Amino acid sequence: MISKKKLATPLTPDFRRRPARYLRMLTCCLLILVAAGAFSGVRADENRIITPEDLWNMKRAGTGDASPDGRQIVFPVTRYDIGENRSYTNLYLSSLDGTALRKFTTQNSDRQPAWSPDGSRIAFVSGRDGSPAQIYLIPVDGGEAERLTDMPVSVSAPKWFPDGRHIAFVASVLPGYEGDFDRLKEMIREQEESKVSAKVTENRIYRHWDRWLTDGRYPRIFKMNVESGEVTDLMPGSRRYFAMMGAAEYDISPDGNEIAVSANSNPPPYEYLNYDIFLVPTDGSGELKNITEHNPANDLSPAYSPDGSTLFYRKQTRTDFYADRARLVFYDRGSGERTVIDKVMHGDIDLSPGSAVWSGNSREIYFTAQDRGKTSLFAYDVRRDRLREIHRGGTNSGIVKAGDNLVFLHRSLTRAPELYRIRANGSNLSKITGFNDEIMSEVRLGRVENVTYKGANGVDVQMFVVYPPDFDKNEEWPLLVQIHGGPHGIFGDDFHFRWNAQVFAAPGYVVAMPNFHGSTSFGQEFAESIHGAHSELPFRDIMKATDYMVEKPYIDENRTAAAGGSYGGYMVSWIAGHTDRYQALINHAGVYNIMTQFASDVTYHRVAAYDGAPWDGLENLLEWNPAMHAENFSTPMLILHGELDYRVPITNGLEVYGIYKGKGLDARLVYYPDENHWILTPQNSLHWFGEFHGWLMRYLSKEAK
């Protein structure tokens, strides 16, 4: 057994300067001790603990597209080079059983593949040649890729028309170019060469995530003739935003005459974004038709049935709640009538279906949905109004239909992401890829427990507990309570590359991950329950989760910590003002002052969330504001934040740090000038993990007691 005392040595000056390097040295030392059999019960052939470096050495596959005959799949795979601090993405081809897996492209910037209807060619997006990302075409049986588009801006989301002669794609343009691409190139050059750096707006939504929206560019769908190279703007004059995060949501009708796209319908100043379903004619006339104008909330993920009779989409009904559950809508293209499935129930849980793919006979749709801490695969029979679960377990995403099979990305708290397939009837589940099998075979993972405890008001609360790899119930272990973001999200049964429970547990911590009130996957009522009192029920749930864990004889209640990011960081600051039961706190990109969140990129849902605003209901807003309880702060806090974080502006982190230091309390600020809400580059991430583990070591070691 590896001694916890060895794992929890106090910080050295070297660690404070170079925490990521020190963490690697610590891991190396542990491996040497294990190999030497230095601890009782340790065999020389035991695997090592998982490290942050392992996460960055893993390959990350996407789901891609299936061949028309359903026998093969083409998909992107991204690998990272830690030394170069960058990523490389190539396309891979594989049979559905994984026996004919091969690397298909080699230019290291290839993604978003789309198989031609006749199965002979694959279109994809690439940034090769140093130009903005363009569409390339390559024969399936081998040969050189041919560049198709020559746009002055990057393109994305290619889709083939059924005739195999045209391709649709998305590009963001300056509306004043009026179809003249030479003019567009000149407009972009003038914009880039301007010596004026001011960003000017009168809009409520003027930046998103880590980018400003003041450059005047808007996305549109284009159509290209593959043979002639002619490009047609199908949405001339349009100034409508598509999905702000992820790929544009659009689909081409089976007859090729129409495209359905989810796009914002609200005009400037964008009091809020309302995504509607627009029908776009493919003849270039530009006469868009809004078929969901009656719904003031979002309409998303349009998908045509293979027989062309029905258009599926997802509908929300609340404009002030981003996690409002989705309803299934089936729009009859002939009559214009809609069938709305208001609730998709799985047991007593009302699901919120994700984007869907149709069965070949147009009778069922297949989708993923969160369900009690998992993200499972489901099928909904349109004619019989019947739901069936195809596959439960772990986290599943990115469904691609391949003949009678569904291909998807699967991972869990104990499995790294890989591609799997399953028959649509739920049989013959099998693994397609094994990119990360070698790394996973080298490491020891901790046991995962799925528990339920009584939270606030006696309500059942689900929680995952991840134990250290060498956990022994006869010893005492430090406890790390994690708090997820959102707040309307979950700690799922997921192998997360940024917030990985196994990496947090590996050095010797029991990691508790409660899905407190406000979490999704437990029904709409549970998710909405925190509105107007953003921290009340979650705080009680987190305290009861801690009580549940410290009652275990193997938890040392004098060595506990709480950590969270985004909303989880908000709860860390709330905890700091309401209890001193933890020995350490870690706050990543956390909301500290609710007032500051009106400088966030998205503000229109905050009045409902807080039940107040600075101009109306200020007392309600301030009641749940962590900044109002700074007089109670005492627990040491690590604060990590990125400059490009527009979701939780950097001033939140700077303010709580300044107050801690002003009070003479232990606090450490880690500031990343080139990161956003997430830490996305390899070396910054390793540094982040080093800081995280270093803070825990400083305050949870036995020597620190």
Amino acid at 569: G
Is residue 562 in some structural domain?
yes
Query: How many Å apart are CA 587 and CA 668, to the nearest integer?
Result: 10
Of the residues 285, 317, 342, the one at which a domain ends: 342
What is the token pair recorded at 336? 């214009």
**pLDDT exceeds 60 at position 7:** no
For residues 470 and 614, membership in a common domain is answered with yes
- Whether residue 531 is contained in a domain is answered as yes
Each residue of 137-154: pLDDT tens digit?
999 998 899 999 999 999
Last residue of a domain, one of 326, 342, 358: 342
Task: Give the three-class secondary structure for 64.
Answer: coil
The candidate with the shortest Cα–Cα distance to 532, out of 607, 614, 628, is 607
Residues whose CB is less than 8 angstroms from the CB of residue 50 and which lie 6 or more positions away in sequence, other chains included: 443, 444, 445, 469, 500, 502, 503, 506
Q: What is the pLDDT of residue 45?
A: 44
Write out pLDDT tens, residues 520-563.
999 999 999 999 999 999 999 999 999 999 999 999 999 999 99
pLDDT tier, 18 (very low <50, low <70, confident <90, very high otherwise): very low
Work out whether strand 327-332 and strand 310-315 pair parallel, antiparallel, or are unpaired: antiparallel
- Give a yes or no: residue 36 inside a domain: no
Number of domain units in the chain: 2
Domain with 621, as residue range(s), is 446-700
Q: How far apart are CA 480 and CA 394, in angstroms?
A: 22
Q: Is residue 129 part of a domain?
A: no
Residue 374 lies in a domain: no
Same domain membership, residue 661 and residue 531: yes
**Are 660 and 547 part of one and the same domain?**
yes
| CA distances in angstroms from 386 to 41, 312, 339, 364, 518, listed in the order given | 54, 16, 14, 9, 28
Q: pLDDT tens for residues 166-185?
A: 999 999 999 999 999 999 99
pLDDT of residue 542: 98
Which pLDDT value is given to residue 142? Answer: 81
- What whole-number distance in Å separates Cα of residue 279 and Cα of residue 285? 12
Summary mean pLDDT of the chain: 93
Helix (H) or strand (E) holding 4: helix 4-7
pTM of the model: 0.93
Q: Fill in the amino acid letter for 111.
A: R
- Does the pLDDT value for residue 22 go beyond 80? no
Cα 13 from Cα 187, distance rounded (Å): 53
Q: How far is CA 380 from the centre of its chain?
A: 25
Provide the pLDDT for residue 702: 81
Distance of alpha carbon 133 from the chain centroid: 23
Other CB atoms within 10 Å distance of the CB of residue 45: 7
For position 705, what pLDDT does the model report?
A: 62
The domain boundary residue, chosen from 320, 342, 364:
342
Query: What does the H/E/C string look like for 549-577?
Result: HHCCCCEEEEEEEEEEECHHHHHHHHHHC
Q: What is the mean pLDDT of residues 198-223?
A: 97
- Looking at the fold, whether 670 and 547 belong to one and the same domain comes out as yes
Residue percentage of the chain with pLDDT more than 90: 91
Q: How confident is the model at residue 189 (pLDDT cuts 50, 70, 90)?
A: very high
pLDDT band at 704 (very low <50, low <70, confident <90, very high): confident
Which amino acid is residue 536, in one-letter code?
E
pLDDT of residue 534: 95
Q: Does residue 667 register a pLDDT over 90?
A: yes
- Determine how β-strand 460-466 pairs with β-strand 510-514: antiparallel
Does residue 29 carry a pLDDT above 90? no
User: Is residue 683 in some structural domain?
Assistant: yes
Backbone angles phi, psi at 685, to 5 degrees: -65, -45
Phi, psi of 645 (to 5 degrees): -85, 100
For 249, residues 6+ apart whose C-beta sits below 8 A from its C-beta are 242, 243, 261, 262, 300, 301, 302, 355
**586 in a structural domain:** yes
Question: pLDDT tens digit string along 342-366?
Answer: 999 999 999 999 999 999 999 999 9
CATH number at residue 649: 3.40.50.1820
Check residue 501 and give its pLDDT.
Answer: 98
In the numeric block, which tokens belong to residue 48?
A: 């090592």
C-beta separation of 419 from 92 below 8 A: no
Neighbours of 63 (CB within 10 A): 18
In a domain, 479, yes or no: yes
pLDDT, tens digit, 9 for 90 and up, residues 412-448: 999 999 999 999 999 999 999 999 999 999 999 999 9
Q: What's at 75, amino acid-wise?
A: F
DSSP code per residue over 204-257: S--EETTEESTT--EEEEEEEETTT--EEESSTT------SSSS--EEE-TTSS
**SS3 state of residue 639:** strand
Q: What is the pLDDT of residues 504-523, one digit of tens each?
A: 999 999 999 999 999 999 99
- Tokens for 36, please give them: 């030497």
In angstroms, the CA 122 to CA 498 distance is 32
